[in-house]
Structure 1
Amino acid sequence: MKRLLSIELEKLWKNRASKVLVITYFVLLTLIALLASVNFSIIGIDFRLADLGIFNFPFIWHANTWLASILKIFLAIVIVSMMANEYTYGTLKQNLIDGLSKKEFVLSKVLTVSLFALVSTLFIFIMTLILGYSFSSYTETSIVFTDLQYIVAYFIKLIAFFSFCLFLGVWVKRSAFAIGFILLWFIGEQVIQGLLYKFVFETRQALNQVAQFFPMESMSNLIKEPISRFQLYKTIENQIGGQASIKDYDVHWYQIAIVIFWTAFFIYMSYKILKKRDL
């Protein structure tokens, strides 16, 4: 496994665009920390995000992993490009000639995306601890490590999404088309949900019971948006006459199971496509 991983990392290191995207990704993650000390002004009111409680334990685990998951598209581009370059530059065929089996080739890609997910998760974990201990009003150990479920969910979500990107890279073979297909897939799921809600299901709850099995939706459900958990959001919602929303923000085992299924499916399909394809 170490040999397979070293082969992939060497390819990435020699690709300037991949290095730039990876560095950009981690720089943007670091900017989350800088937001804590920035003063914002809205309709004449000055405030800092740190003063709103966004960096309080244990809420910060939810907020940071959700924000970080939005930026995963940068690594997705690296993964799709990594696969597309194998076809463009003929390195895939050369690896197979040199004795690498198709199974080992797919495994090397899986190891690479797993490493990306692990490093990103560790980075978020450390950064969250630093931010939390710097700005949180609650630093008791029992509170600090209450919501580590979001770190686990973040890691699983990245593995799943990167496996999906790997599958598209193997299937489509062109990075631009593969990235476009990710957007089309997301839009397709939303359109299907809209049609089901209009013609099949009477309630949003009934629709969600089915939609949770969709690939992109299942990944999204692992870490739901945290904005509506803000006390400020609830206050504004009440002032404009709305009813405070009741939402389940927890990470459930069955949601993880669905995402793991799709992860295994995309990895398996990547191998099956590559196995049948004449290179």
Structure 2
Amino acid sequence: MLRLINIEFHKLKHNRASKILSIIYFGLLTSIALIAAIKFDIGPIKFHLAEQGIFNFPYIWHFNTYMAAILKFFLLLVIVSMMANEYSYKTLKQNLIDGLSKKEFILSKFYTVIVFALISTLFVFIVSLILGLVYSDFNELSIIFSDLEYLIAFFIKLVGFFSFGLFLGILIKRSAFAVAAMIVWLIVESIFKGYLYWTFKDLKSGTEEAVSSIMQFFPLESMANLIKEPFTRLGAVKSVANQIGENFTKDYSVNLLNILIVLFWTFIFIYASYALLKKRDL
């Protein structure tokens, strides 16, 4: 395993574009801390975002993993370009000539995906812990280390997403087209979701539940479901909603079924990558 990881990181070390994208990605993850600096002072109205509870434990684990997941496209570019470069520079063929099996080649890519996801998760954990210790109103250990399942969901979400990117990189061989294919798939899922809403529009109640019960099995939708939006969970938002007669009853927890669906898709993407590579004449 370590041998395969070393091979991949040796390649990445000599790829300037991948290094730049990785630095940008982790720099942006760190920039989540800048949210604490957002202030609005308009006459008697003083608004400090950090004081609204976004960095309170355990809410911070939900908020930061959701925000960090938005940035995953930067590492997606690294993953697909990593695969595209194998074809462009003929390193794939050379690796196979040097004795690396196709199974080991796919595993080396998958291990790299896991390492990227693990480092990202650890990075978000450290940034969130520091921000929470500085700004949170609750510093009891039992509160600090509750809701850590959002970090597990974040890790699984990244592994699934990057595995999808790896599969597209092998399928299409060109990084730009692979990213475009990911965007097209996202559009297709969105259109189908809209079609389902139109189909079930005549239901007196339960339209949302009917659509969700179907869409949860699609790859990108299942990944999105791992960490639901945290904004309506915020106390200040709930207070405003109550004043205008709205009541949020959304389930924000990490659902085991969603985890299993994403793990299933991850297996499909990696196995399909191997099957595709095995079938090709290189």
Q: Same fold (TM over 0.5)?
A: yes
Matched, 1:263 2:266: yes
Gap change, CA 1:176 and 1:44, over 3 Å in 2 = farther
Counterpart residue number, 1:225: 229
Q: Structure 1 vs Structure 2: percent identity of aligned residues?
A: 59
Q: Give the Cα separation in 2 of the matches to 1:45 and 1:98.
A: 67
Counterpart residue number, 1:181: 181
| Residue range with higher mean Cα deviation, 194-203 or 168-177 | 194-203
Letter in 2 for 1:155: F
Q: Please report how far the alpha carbon of residue 199 of structure 1 lies from its aligned counterpart in structure 2 after TM superposition.
A: 1.9
Q: Please report how far the alpha carbon of residue 242 of structure 1 lies from its aligned counterpart in structure 2 after TM superposition.
A: 5.0
Q: Please report how far the alpha carbon of residue 42 of structure 1 lies from its aligned counterpart in structure 2 after TM superposition.
A: 7.1
Alignment RMSD (CA, Å): 1.5
Match of 2:251 among 231, 248, 262: 248
Q: Give the Cα separation in 1 of the matches to 2:126 and 2:172.
A: 36
Letter in 2 for 1:12: L
Stretches of structure 2 that go unaligned for 5 or more consecutive residues are none
Letter in 1 for 2:277: L
Q: Give the Cα separation in 1 of the matches to 2:76 and 2:43.
A: 37
Counterpart residue number, 2:57: 57
Q: Give the Cα separation in 2 of the matches to 1:118 and 1:159.
A: 9
Match of 1:276 among 269, 275, 279: 279
Letter in 1 for 2:125: F
Counterpart residue number, 1:132: 132
CA displacement, residues 216-259 of structure 1 (integer Å, 9 cap, x when unaligned): 000000000001111222233344x3522210000111111111
Q: Give the Cα separation in 1 of the matches to 2:40 and 2:20.
A: 30
Counterpart residue number, 2:190: 190
Q: Give the Cα separation in 1 of the matches to 2:60 and 2:38.
A: 17
Question: SS in structure 2 opposite 1:46?
Answer: strand
Question: SS in structure 1 opposite 2:46?
Answer: strand
Matched, 1:33 2:33: yes
Matched, 1:236 2:240: yes
Question: SS in structure 2 opposite 1:248?
Answer: coil
Letter in 1 for 2:186: F
- Correspondence list, 1:15-164, <5 A: 15-40=15-40, 45-164=45-164
Q: Please report how far the alpha carbon of residue 145 of structure 1 lies from its aligned counterpart in structure 2 after TM superposition.
A: 0.9
Q: Please report how far the alpha carbon of residue 206 of structure 1 lies from its aligned counterpart in structure 2 after TM superposition.
A: 1.0
Q: Please report how far the alpha carbon of residue 266 of structure 1 lies from its aligned counterpart in structure 2 after TM superposition.
A: 0.4
Aligned residues: 278
Q: Please report how far the alpha carbon of residue 84 of structure 1 lies from its aligned counterpart in structure 2 after TM superposition.
A: 0.5
Q: Give the Cα separation in 1 of the matches to 2:241 and 2:150.
A: 26
Residues 200 and 210 in structure 2, CA contact (< 8 A), matched pair in contact too: no
Letter in 1 for 2:162: F
Gap change, CA 1:43 and 1:117, over 3 Å in 2 = farther
Letter in 1 for 2:132: G
Letter in 2 for 1:243: E
Q: Give the Cα separation in 2 of the matches to 1:223 and 1:275.
A: 35
Question: SS in structure 2 opposite 1:188?
Answer: helix
| Residue range with higher mean Cα deviation, 26-35 or 192-201 | 192-201
CA displacement, residues 75-119 of structure 1 (integer Å, 9 cap, x when unaligned): 000000000111111111111111111100000000001000000
Q: Please report how far the alpha carbon of residue 200 of structure 1 lies from its aligned counterpart in structure 2 after TM superposition.
A: 4.7
Q: Give the Cα separation in 2 of the matches to 1:191 and 1:42.
A: 42
| Residue range with higher mean Cα deviation, 77-86 or 38-47 | 38-47
